[in-house]
Amino acid sequence: MEKVNRRRQRGCDSLSVPGMIDALQQCENLMGVETSNIFLLEAVLTYLPYVEVMGTFKNRDATFPIPPQNSISLVHGARLTSLHLSGVELRDLPPMYFLKQLHLKWVRFTDPNPFRDFEMPRLRSFIMNNCAGPQSALKYLPLMTGLATATGLKRLELVRVPFLGELVLCLL
């Protein structure tokens, strides 16, 4: 059971993620939440799929090297508009139709084929900085085809992504 602690913790005041989800489920008219905790984000996406995660989600516990507890799973069709992940393990990138901004920094993908379902048609900004993923350049083809379908893409940054040179050579 993960704990969500206050920033200035005195004594041992803390809330559990299951307790917070239970409290949020009691709110009948809840339409959106804003958080910066990856455990609460994952729980909201899983147990409250009708609730929108408002604003820009940025996790605050980003460190490098990535600790094993900084792991998150995103769900298909999550109601997110802006997602900035830093210093986390991520299994894969599922289709997210509402997402407009995706910034990944120091993200390690654990699935051998993390981009196979990548589809984000409303994406405007995609930044991938110092991420670790599959060894084969061909595993990145679904990422490139998914980015090609994002017709509103205005910003694309691929910083220190080792696959790009190999991918261009494979396509030639």
Q: Determine the pLDDT at residue 8.
A: 45
Q: Where are the domains of the chain?
A: 13-171
Residues 6+ apart with CB under 8 A from 41: 35, 53, 57, 59, 72
- The tokens for 168 are 């261009």
- Does 63 score more than 80 pLDDT? no
Burial of residue 107 (number of CB atoms within 10 Å: 0-12, 13-18, 19+): buried
Least confident piece of the model among 83-92, 108-117, 128-137: 128-137
Q: Determine the pLDDT at residue 172.
A: 45
Strand order in the sheet with 108-109: 71-72, 89-90, 108-109
Cα–Cα distance between 20 and 23 in angstroms, integer?
5
Model confidence over 46-55: pLDDT tens digits? 898 888 888 8
Q: Determine the pLDDT at residue 109.
A: 92
- Does 71 score more than 70 pLDDT? yes
- Does 65 score more than 80 pLDDT? no
Identify the H or E element spanning 14: strand 14-16
Cα–Cα distance between 114 and 153 in angstroms, integer?
21
Please state the rounded mean pLDDT for residues 110-114. 92
Residues 6+ apart with CB under 8 A from 6: 13, 14
Average pLDDT, the chain: 82
Q: Determine the pLDDT at residue 93.
A: 92
Model confidence over 116-172: pLDDT tens digits? 999 999 999 999 988 888 887 788 888 888 888 899 999 999 887 766 555 555 554
SS3 106: coil
Band (pLDDT 50/70/90 cuts) for residue 27 is confident
